[in-house]
Amino acid sequence: MSGHQRRPIPHRGIAAKVGLTERTIRYYEELGLLESVKRLDGGVRVYTDDDVRRLKYIGKLKMLGLTLQEMLELERMYQRHRSNKNVLPRLVELLDAHLATLNDRVSELAALRDEIRAYREHVTQRLLEEK
């Protein structure tokens, strides 16, 4: 029950708690990634522990490479079915695609590292020949 209890947390407070800017939190709300935040009579936004968890989850997905559009796709699936039954397999597909992209990039970087080493060796050899 405490997870659904609303308690006033100022924007700065929630922003600091989840490591996001106030503007980013408002943007996620505008996009539909965060359910509409309730306000007190004075216009102060009221967040729940669920909002904090949700924002941390969004941050985790972003860190894993998911785009906001991909997150919105997952959110819409969840809203449509009210279950993770369809969402989780799609999340696995998205993560697999990001892993493949990351593996390709790692291979490209390894090849670049080898090329830099080889060219460095070439330049070093030329320096030695000029002595």
Q: pLDDT (tens digit, 0 to 9) for every residue of the chain, 131 residues total?
A: 444 555 566 666 788 889 888 899 989 999 999 887 777 777 777 788 888 899 999 999 999 999 999 999 999 999 898 888 989 999 999 999 999 999 999 999 999 999 999 999 999 999 999 87
Domain of 38? 1-63
Rounded CA-CA distance 77/6 in Å is 26
Rounded CA-CA distance 82/84 in Å is 7
Rounded CA-CA distance 43/38 in Å is 9
CATH of the domain at 58: 1.10.1660.10
pTM greater than 0.95 (yes/no):
no
Tell me: do 2 and 40 sit in the same domain.
Answer: yes
Q: Which two tokens stand for residue 60?
A: 């985790």
Tell me: do 42 and 100 sit in the same domain.
Answer: no
Tell me: do 78 and 47 sit in the same domain.
Answer: no
- In which residue are the tokens 């505008």 written? 30
CA distance readout (Å), 105 to 62, 71, 109:
18, 22, 6
